[in-house]
Each structure stands twice: as structure tokens, then as C-alpha cells.
């Protein structure tokens, strides 16, 4: 049976169980995110507080806070974790409302079939004044699931060849900006006039759990940092990392920080 985005739940879980035994599970994003997380923990004084990591994998960041708790879809992750661990989905966190002072998630939300549900859960489990550092892989490419960018021309069908031919254009920053900037401006207008929470804007992707062609070939969705910021701000959150409209509009990559009021 398919889930929210056509992904197969059993295949998805089995894929990440296998992934825990690969080298990729060890070093993904560690070098680029360790310093950012250390600064996040220090700035918000989370070292002795209860914090949650969504999609903890092998627990590479578990020593950053004394009260660290990890969740991961893969039960096998627990073999590598020395602190409290639960095998669970980001869309249904098994914790009480307001039970964490801080939270982070690194290169995970793009792999969640229902990302808006995951954001709702993040907001729910944070206590008043709680902060979250979110660093998914932004703007995942729709062609990654088929490996169009890495496969040879003679392996592709005519539709895939046409897609491969246009990749240099579609992947160019200026081309993506032409499409993204108007959407961001429109969302800012929605936020200005809205009298309640806005829906999350994201693109659904078809993940590949059979062949791992490369990074994010298993992504379920393509997220824009601006859209995620707008989603939180429309619900009364602050964003210390991107305060104000201009900072939101120019958000490109890296983590975002949101704080619950």
C-alpha cells in the first residue's frame, strides 16, 4: 500500500535499515554540520537540556547535549546509539507536547513523505521558547530518482534523454531563480495578508528505494527554505537565523533556526 506520496512504507523502512550498514551512514553531512550544531547548542544553552534529533542515524551528534534523545526510522540505528533512542517516524513523534527545549534534523526532512506533518510534530514537541535547527537537503532534483544525471545516454529512454539534455539549463542558478523568485514573492504577500497559518509549499518527488543512484535519489519531496520559514512564521514562530522579509527572501542553503513563542 502506498503512503502520502506514493512511496512504499515497507520498502522505505527496509531501505534505511540497509543504509545503516553502509559507509554513507557514517559520514553524511558530518563535516559540514558539526560546527553549525555546536554553535547552535552553545548559543541557545542546550548542552544540559533535553533535545531531540530527528533522523539521528548512527548518533554522530549525541554527545553535543547531555539530554540528547534520538529517533530514526531505522531500528538498526539503535545499535550505534548510547543514549535514549526510539525507532519512529518524523510524522508521528512519540513524545509529549512541549517536552523538548531544542531539536535538530540534518538531511532528513526531504526523505519524509508528509513533510508538513513532520513540521507540525516539530512545533508540537518543542516547549515555549524552544528552538529547532533544520537543515534538510534543499531543492532536491526530480531527476535524481532515475539517476539521469549519472547514467549513460545508451541506458536511457527517449524521455530520459530529453531530460538529461536539459539538465545544464534546469540546474543553472539563474534559471531556477526565474521560477523561484516569483513564488517566494507571492508567498510573502500571502503571509502579509494571512490571518492564520499557511500551508507548506513543496514539490512531491517519487523516491527510488530499489537503486541508489546518488544523493537524494531516495528523496520524497523538494523543500525550499523560504517556504519552510514562511510556514513557521505564519504560526507565530520567530526565525533568529532569517529575521525579516529580506532575509527570508534571500535564503539559499544551509540550516534555518526557528523559535517557538
CATH of the domain at 255: 3.40.50.150
pTM for the predicted model, two decimal places: 0.92
17 is a domain residue? yes
Overall average pLDDT of the 26-53 stretch: 87
Please compute the mean of the pLDDT values over residues 224-245 and round it to a whole number: 97
- CA 64 → CA 48, 54, 100, 219, distances in Å? 9, 14, 15, 27
Distance CA 99, CA 125 (A): 5
What pLDDT is recorded for position 8? 72
The answer to whether position 50 is within a domain reads yes
DSSP H helical ranges for 65-170: 115-125, 158-165, 167-170
Q: How many domains does the chain have?
A: 1
Q: What is the pLDDT of residues 71-107, one digit of tens each?
A: 999 999 999 999 999 999 999 999 999 999 999 999 9
Tens-place pLDDT, residues 162-196: 999 999 999 998 888 898 999 999 999 999 998 89
pLDDT-derived band at 5, boundaries 50, 70, 90:
very low
* Residue range of the domain that includes 98: 9-140+198-259
Sequence-separated (6 or more) residues with CB below 8 Å from residue 240: 131, 257, 258, 259
Domain-embedded: residue 31: yes
Q: What is the pLDDT of residue 212?
A: 87
- The answer to whether residue 154 is domain-embedded is no
Are 55 and 105 within 8 A, CB to CB?
yes
**Bridge partners, residue 100, by sequence:** 126
In a domain, residue 21? The reply is yes
What are the grid coordinates assigned to 216, written together? 537524494
Residue 170 domain-assigned? Answer: no
Average confidence (pLDDT) over 215-242: 96
Q: Cell 542553503 sits at which residue?
A: 253
In a domain, 100, yes or no: yes
Tell which wins on pLDDT, 12 or 234: 234
Amino acid at each position: 500500500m502506498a503512503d502520502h506520496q506514493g512511496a512504499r512504507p515497507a520498502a522505505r523502512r527496509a531501505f534505511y535499515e540497509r543504509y545503516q550498514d553502509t559507509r554513507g551512514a557514517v559520514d553524511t553531512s558530518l563535516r559540514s554540520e558539526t560546527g553549525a550544531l555546536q554553535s547552535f547548542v552553545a548559543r541557545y544553552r542546550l548542552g544540559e537540556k533535553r533535545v531531540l534529533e530527528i533522523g539521528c542515524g548512527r548518533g554522530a551528534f549525541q554527545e553535543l547535549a547531555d539530554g540528547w534523545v534520538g529517533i530514526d526510522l531505522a531500528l538498526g540505528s539503535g545499535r550505534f546509539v548510547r543514549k535514549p533512542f526510539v525507532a519512529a517516524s518524523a510524522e508521528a513523534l512519540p513524545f509529549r507536547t512541549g517536552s523538548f527545549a531544542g531539536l535538530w534534523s540534518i538531511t532528513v526532512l526531504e526523505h519524509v513523505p508528509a513533510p508538513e506533518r513532520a513540521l507540525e510534530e516539530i512545533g508540537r514537541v518543542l516547549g515555549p521558547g524552544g528552538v529547532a535547527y533544520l537543515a534538510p537537503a534543499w531543492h532536491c532534483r526530480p531527476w535524481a530518482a532515475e539517476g539521469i544525471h549519472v547514467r549513460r545516454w545508451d541506458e536511457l529512454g527517449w524521455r530520459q534523454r530529453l531530460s538529461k539534455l536539459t539538465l545544464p539549463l534546469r540546474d543553472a542558478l539563474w534559471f531556477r531563480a526565474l521560477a523561484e523568485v516569483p513564488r517566494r514573492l507571492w508567498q510573502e504577500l500571502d503571509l502579509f495578508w494571512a490571518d492564520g497559518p499557511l500551508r507548506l509549499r513543496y514539490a512531491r518527488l517519487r523516491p527510488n528505494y530499489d537503486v541508489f543512484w546518488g544523493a537524494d535519489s531516495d528523496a520524497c519531496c523538494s523543500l525550499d527554505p523560504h517556504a519552510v520559514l514562511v510556514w513557521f512564521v505564519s504560526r507565530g514562530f520567530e526565525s533568529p537565523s532569517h529575521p525579516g522579509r529580506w532575509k527570508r527572501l534571500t535564503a539559499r542553503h544551509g540550516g534555518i533556526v526557528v523559535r517557538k513563542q
